[in-house]
Amino acid sequence: MTGPSLRQLHAHHAIHQGGLSGAIAKTEEVEELLEAKEIEVARQAADHLIEYWETRIISHADAEEDGLIPEVIHQFHALLVVNSIHSRDEERLLLAEA
């Protein structure tokens, strides 16, 4: 079961945008520190960047794979079944009218 934020488009989009902007900012920080030849500080910033990816980006992707994606697939399959039944019934009605 997923949290409500994964199923609400606006909230889910905000999660993705927040993750992206955080990753960009942390990556730029590492790049700037490397350009300034602050190697040890850049190494620490890189460690923070990796931790960010593990705790924010990868954990969110895992939540999507474990909850949201199977839910969406199940709902999509249910819609396909309903559509198939509807199409079959509609075809019967059209043939009965002919």
| pLDDT tens, residue by residue, 30-82 | 999 999 999 999 999 999 999 999 888 887 777 776 666 666 676 666 666 67
Q: Quick one: tokens of 48? A: 């923070």
Reported for 3-7, long-range contacts at CB under 8 A and 24+ positions apart, including other chains, are 3/63, 6/63, 6/64, 6/67, 6/68, 7/68, 7/71
Q: Per-residue pLDDT averaged across 3-29, rounded?
A: 82
Check: CB of residue 65 under 8 Å from CB of residue 2. no
Domain range enclosing 19? 4-97
Rg (CA), the chain: 24
Q: Which of 5-9, 32-36, 59-63, 94-98 has the lowest mean pLDDT?
A: 5-9
CA distance 48 to 38: 15
Number of domains in the chain: 1
Note the pTM of the prediction, 2 decimals: 0.57
pLDDT given at position 27 = 95
